[in-house]
Amino acid sequence: MAVNTPSGRSRGRPARTPEQHEQMRARILAAAGAVYAKHGQRGTTVARIVKKARLSRPTFYVFFDGTDDVITALVNHTQSQLNGRLYAAMVEPADLITQIVAAVDVYLDTTEEMGDAARVFHIEAHDPASSAHRLRQENEEVMVDMLRGRIIESGRPAPSSEAFRMLFGTLQAGSYRYSSTPGSDRREARAAMLRAAVALVGTPEDWRRAAERPDLFGQ
C-alpha cells in the first residue's frame, strides 16, 4: 500500500544538482531493490527502504510518493533493461535461429546477474495481485510487437502473437528454474530452452537446421 505525504513531494531537501538528484534516486532504487528481493511486494515498506538507504523519510518522499511508486519504478527499470538487451540482440539482421539463441542467452545472463533477486521478481511477475504482473504483461506486449515486426520485415511468415507470449513465458520459466536449482547446468538449460523456443516460433525447416547443430541442442 502506498504511503503518501500530505503535501506530495514537497517534503525533504532535494539534491542540489541534476547529477546529485539522479544519484540519490539511484540510491533509493538500489535500496528498494534489496528490500524487494528479500521481502517481496507485500514486505517492501518505506521504513525498510529508508533504513537500507540510510536516509530520511522526507528525502524519500522528494523522489517517490510511496511504496507503490518506487516498486513500479524498480520493476520498470528491471524490465526495461531486459527489453533493451533483447532489442539489441534482435535488431541486427539475422536468421531466426540466431535471434532465438540471442534471446535465450539474454534471459540466462540477466537471471544470473540478478542472483537471489531473480526468485522474488519471477514470483511477483506471475502473481496477478502484484503490480509487477501487470507491468510484465505490458512490457511483453511491446516485445511481442517488436519481434513479430522484425520477422515480417525479413519476409518470413510471422508466428502468432500468442506463440510469442508463450515463448516469453517459456524463457522466463526456464531461466528461473536454471537459476533456482542448485547444481543446474547452464548448457543443458540452454539447450532445453532452445528446443522449446524453436518449437514455439520456428518452422519445421528451422527445427531441422537447429537439430543439425550439436552446439545448440546439445546432441
- What digits encode the pLDDT tens for the residues 80-111? 888 888 888 776 666 778 888 888 999 999 88
Who's near 180: CB < 8 A, 6+ residues apart? 118, 119
The pLDDT of residue 210 is above 70: yes
Cα–Cα distance list, 72 to 40, 77, 134, 160 (Å): 13, 8, 10, 29
CATH 1.10.357 for the 72-217 domain, yes or no: yes
Who's near 62: CB < 8 A, 6+ residues apart? 9, 11, 12, 13, 14
- What digits encode the pLDDT tens for the residues 7-48? 444 455 555 788 888 999 999 999 998 998 888 888 999 999
What would be the CATH architecture of the domain defined by 18-65?
Orthogonal Bundle (1.10)
Q: Residue 49: pLDDT band by 50, 70, 90 thresholds?
A: very high
| All structural domains of the chain with their residue ranges | 18-65, 72-217
Q: Retrieve residue 180's grid coordinates.
A: 533456482
- What digits encode the pLDDT tens for the residues 184-197? 899 999 999 999 99
Which run of H or of E encompasses 178? helix 161-180
Beta strands in 21-88 (DSSP E): none
